[in-house]
Structure 1
Amino acid sequence: MAHQTLSLRRRLRFMSRAGGTGVARYVGNHPFFAGVAGTLVAVAMAGLTLLTLSSGRADALDHARETAQNLVSIISTDLERNVEIYDLSLEAMVDGARDPGTWTLSGGLRRAVLFDRATTAAYLGGAYVIGPDGRVIASQNGEVDAAVSLADRDYFLVHQRSPAVGLYFSHPYRSRLRDGKLSIGLTRRINEADGTFGGIALLAIRIEYFQRLLDRINTGELGSVFIVMDDGTLLARKPFSSRDIGSSIAKSPTFQVMAAHNSGSYVANSAVDGVSRMFTYARVPGAPLIAVVAPSVDEVLAPWRRRSRIAGVLTLAFGAVFVMVSWLLAFALRDKMRAQAALVRLAATDPLTGLSNRRVLDKRLDEEWRRARRSGQSLSALFIDIDHFKQFNDVYGHASGDEALTAVAECISATVLRSLDLVARYGGEEFAVILPDTTAEGALRLAEKIRHKVQSLRVLHRDGEAIAVTVSIGCATCVPAEGANALDLLAAADRQLYAAKAAGRNRVNSTVWAGRSMAQDSSP
């Protein structure tokens, strides 16, 4: 078992090394892959950052919405509890007023029966029983001004006209009993024994109660919190503005959304000051009131925006550096590849003529020999030598000799057009041409073309003299056989070259060789 575990670890290490080597080799062969990969990674990082920031923005808004919902719940609960208490007091006042015996009691006892301790709460402006003619007939503080009539108030008229109203919330009004203090009235109808209208029970709630409730809520410098009636009448608002109290926002698009639902949250521009706010609202159970908390969207998102700017700048900076380093690496790899390619070319190229050198010739000849032996195709070789080149150098100098070598190399390259053929400088003034899949006739025709092209060549001496240059060419063609050697083909072409020189130069000699080893060719 231990042996198997060790063997598995070795295989994993080998695979890891092989995989790493493969990646390194791929990057080395494709230098711009590093730059593209680095750019894609930086873009992916930027995308992830944007997604994270977008998620952070949504989280900030969700947190603000939850906080606003909690505040709305606190306001709504406080209002619901106090309205319930005040309604119980009103019902006690109605019951006491309907009892004829109450009105036979002395003033102090009558007040004790009609008004409980809840009517003395700090923000209650007073508790009153109002007769059917609209005049106060009893008050919690014992003061009754017979000259004041409340018969024109909305809270009086609505009960006078209908016995089924129940608890009624009035619109804000200036009190005639308390020096014009701004209040709203909570009222219930008092019926006579025969069911006719017998007056109302009134609790006057000072508007400061609602404002005090909102003052405890912190919604920031640009935020807002307000209490509005379900018909759009504004009861309290923070930030406070006295001219807004009692005004109607019924036509505001923001209020129309609230009027259509029991609760919710949405973002809109305020109709009062145009600030973009997140309005979170809920109706108060048992009352025609809507509590609204509306923090400013800009203030909600301010911390997120600060973090986003920092994260964005850092992401852009690191991303730019990462991309720059990736492309610097890519260009460095490209330059390295170019340098390596140049070294390979230098190692494989004759520096004077630009043709392939002897090393490339030997390698390519061996490859084509093995390929021809597998396929059974003909393989031809040309051996080319410049005639009287030593004498040419002695007479015209080595500079002219180099020009002649270069010119002949260009003639050969211009004549040998197939990409699979190879033209190489063998050494000195000798050149070799490897012609895969070429018959003896085809090799002979190509050799004659080269000879004629070179013969028409004129090399200019430094004194302006045009010098004719000729070549002798040996051709050899075979179908490689077992036991033979690729160099044997080149040797056969070399023998034909010397035969051409012996026959007078500037000519082509050709042979079809059997492709066997030299020992087999020489045997009887």
Structure 2
Amino acid sequence: MASALSRHPMVAGVVGTVVAVLMASLSIATLYQGRQGVLDHAHETSANLVAIISSDLARNVEIYNLSLNAMVEGAQNPAMTALSPALRGQILFDRAISAAYITGAYVLDAHGRVTAASKDVPLLAASFADREYFYAQQRSPSTGLFFSHPFASRLRGTPTIGMSRRVNAPDGSFAGIALLAMNVAYFNSLLDKLNVGAEGSIFIVYQDGTMIARKPFHEDLVGRNVAISPTFSRMVNATSGSYAAISPVDHVRRLYTFSHVPGTPFIAVVAPAEGDVLRQWRERSRVVGALTLLSGMSFVAVSWLLALSLRERARAQEELVRLAGTDALTGLPNRRAFDERMDDEWRRGRRAGTPLSVLFIDVDYFKAYNDTYGHALGDDALATVAHSIATTVRRPGDVPARYGGEEFVVLLPDTPLEGARHIAEAIRQGVQACTIPHRASALGTVTISIGCATASPPGLGGAYGLLAAADQQLYKAKAAGRDCVRPLAHAAAPVVSG
């Protein structure tokens, strides 16, 4: 991994960024799962509260229904008419009517007039045939237990719900009703015991959409029909369930959980506000999100700092390698770099079957130049010669190098003898054109001699055989009077002398 990062340092930054993104994604996914868990827990809690409300309502309604059945049986018994009103009241009305929110118990005849009432309720001469609880029983013998919509009691003026059952004559005809009057405050007291948050809502509603009680209390909502509300429409066709919606009353998004109360026309609904439910989760999420963002950004920053550091280190290493293979005076590759390239090009030429040429260059009378002008000017002269060689050898694959002292070499891959001789001649003329004064030379200026050799690998016994052949040609050029080129073509081993 360290080797791979040293070759591709930017990978460290990319990998660090990817890891940070994955960590952030994992944190976000975890937070989302936590959010869903909070919502699920809220639904479970709401379902438990709904169950408590439904259980309380169903239990009390069952008790009240038993009382109504007893009142109906007593009213339908012919022997009851012979009893005194006090005794008849004791038989008709049991202890159920003493419940805190039962405001009265009555038996009404076929014309809606009260014929019997619980002991603490006065008999009224008025007819109640116009009440919903009366005519619903009058119109249908199969109505059973009936719950009226809230109405204002004529006796007490309080919002009341009437629970009634039909009383039949011996021939099955309508003979009146048994009635229990329930104060709507019972429903409010039931809801007041429960808490669903600052913006939560609990309410009990009829299946036709008529509101009975709500917490928080809104006086204008009691008795109001909310059947057209989009939050109510989902409750009609299902026995129970839960969903999230925005309340049309106060425009708060709530989590609605509902259930139809068995044996009644009521629906109990618990709706905590989503904001209340998620408040603590959001506070934790802000902290976790901020820490995740900070740690992620820090990780990315460290990763890219590491990547940049590795890149600078790689550049420094490349520079060191380049400097290790570069001659400090001339800026050309040194002998070590030349040897490495020559081995590579020899193997490449052997695979491809292409010729390889080498130029061996020596500055004429350079010792005399140093003796005459000094080593400082000698170094300048060598730098000028190197520059001339480098500007003449322009192909990307060609390698000019300083071989040592006043000697230079040029490696020419995929170059036949004629091309190598042409380049060598151009180099010689380029140095000559520099007109570097040299009074110790018979020619008057600095000149070079070049030996040139070409072979197709594995000719000449190897790369160094080719270099030795070029060196031999250099000596021939010097023997011929210097300032000239001596080429040699050879395709077979061993090295051929002079």
| TM-score past 0.5 threshold | yes
TM-score, with normalisation over the residues of structure 2?
A: 0.92
Q: Distance in 1 between matches of 2:436 and 2:84?
A: 148
Q: 1:43 is matched with which residue?
A: 21
Q: 1:182 pairs with 144, 156, 159, which one? A: 159
Match of 1:287 among 264, 275, 283: 264
- Asked whether 1:498 is paired with 2:478, we answer no
Matches within 5 A, 1:5-404: 23-141=1-119, 143-177=121-155, 179-369=156-346, 377-392=354-369, 401-404=378-381
In structure 2, relative to structure 1, the CA distance for the partners of 1:374 and 1:67 (3 Å cut) is closer
> 2:39, 2:278 within 8 Å by CA — same for their partners in 1?
yes
- SS of the equivalent of 2:209 reads coil
CA deviation map 1:472-500 (0-9, x unaligned): 21112334569946444333322322322
- What is the CA deviation profile of residues 424-470 of structure 1, one whole-angstrom value per residue up to 9, with x for unaligned ones? 01123321012234332232122122223333335699xxxxx9653
* Percent identity of paired positions between Structure 1 and Structure 2: 56
Q: Are 2:460 and 2:491, in contact at CA under 8 Å, matched by a contact in 1?
A: no
Deviation, structure 1 residue 376: 6.0
Counterpart-to-counterpart distance in 1, 2:468 and 2:483: 20
| Higher alpha-carbon deviation: 366-375 or 337-346 | 366-375
**Pair 1:514–1:96, CA change in 2 (3 A):** closer
TM superposition shift of 1:517: 4.8
**Alignment partners' CA distance in 2, 1:135 and 1:173:** 18
Q: Is the 8 A contact 2:117 2:123 kept in 1?
A: no
Q: Deviations over 1:307-353 (max 9, x none)?
A: 21111111111111111111111111111111111111111001222
Deviates more, 1:162-171 or 1:31-40: 162-171
Q: Which is further off, 39-48 or 135-144?
A: 135-144
2:485 to 499, 508, 519: 508
The reply on whether 1:439 has 2:416 as its aligned counterpart is yes
Using the alignment, how far apart are the partners of 1:188 and 1:66 within structure 2? 37
1:285 and 1:413, CA in 2 relative to 1: closer, same or farther beyond 3 A?
Answer: same
1:243 counterpart SS class = helix
- Larger mean CA deviation between 62-71 and 486-495 belongs to 486-495
- CA distance in structure 2 between the partners assigned to 1:510 and 1:484 by the alignment: 18
Q: What CA distance in whole angstroms lies between the structure 1 residues aligned with 2:359 and 2:459?
A: 22
Distance in 1 of aligned mates of 2:388 and 2:242: 88
- Distance change in 2, residues 1:332/1:511 (3 Å): same
Separation in 1 of the partners of 2:11 and 2:437?
Answer: 50
One-letter identity of the residue aligned with 1:28 = S
Kept in 2, the 8 Å contact 1:234–1:248? The answer is yes
Whole-angstrom CA distance in 1 between matches of 2:151 and 2:248: 24
Q: Which moved more, 1:497-506 or 1:28-37?
A: 497-506
Q: Deviations over 1:181-227 (max 9, x none)?
A: 22101001212223332211100111121112111211011111110
Contact 1:377/1:479 (CA < 8 Å) preserved in 2?
yes
Partner of 1:10: none
1:126/1:141 contact within 8 Å kept: no
User: Deviation per CA, 1:37-92, whole angstroms, max 9, x where unpaired?
Assistant: 11100000000011111111111111111111111111112211221221121111
The 1:424–1:287 alpha-carbon spacing in structure 2 relative to 1, beyond 3 Å, is: same
Q: Quote the residue 2:398 is aligned against.
A: 421
Q: Identify the range of structure 1 (388-397 vs 342-351) with the bigger mean alpha-carbon deviation.
A: 388-397
Q: CA RMSD in A?
A: 2.5
Structure 1 letter corresponding to 2:97: T
Residue identity matched to 2:84: S
For 1:142 and 1:307, locate their aligned partners in 2 and report how far apart those are by CA, in whole Å: 59
Q: Distance in 1 between matches of 2:188 and 2:349?
A: 104
Q: Which stretch of the first structure deviates more once superposed, 281-290 or 368-377?
A: 368-377
Deviation at 1:374, TM superposition (A): 6.7
CA contact (8 A) 1:456 1:468 kept: no
Residue 223 to residue 481, structure 1, CA distance change in 2 (3 Å):
closer
Report the Cα distance in structure 2 between the residues aligned to 1:460 and 1:159, rounded to whole angstroms: 136
Gaps of 5+ in 2: 439-443
Can you list the C-alpha shifts for 1:17-40, whole angstroms capped at 9, x where unaligned?
Answer: xxxxxx221112111111111110
d(CA) in 1 for partners of 2:445, 2:104: 134
Aligned to 1:406: 383
Query: Aligned AA for 2:383?
Result: T
Q: Cα–Cα, structure 1 residues 460 and 54, in superposed 2: closer, same or farther, change >3 Å?
A: farther
In structure 1, the gaps of 5 or more residues are 1-22, 462-466
In structure 2, C-alpha distance between the alignment counterparts of 1:187 and 1:375, rounded to whole Å: 110
Contact preservation (8 Å) 1:279, 1:292: yes
Amino acid at match of 1:421: D
Does the aligned pair in 1 maintain the 2:452–2:474 contact within 8 Å? yes
Report the secondary structure of 2:288's partner residue.
Answer: helix
Query: Per the alignment, do residues 124 and 373 of structure 1 end up closer, same or farther by CA in structure 2, a change over 3 Å counting?
Result: closer
Counterpart CA distance in 1 for 2:284 and 2:39 is 15
Q: 1:449 to 1:233 in 2, by over 3 A?
A: same
TM-score, normalised to structure 1, is: 0.87
Give distance in 1, aligned partners of 2:460 and 2:388: 35
Which residue of 2 is the match for residue 14 of structure 1?
none
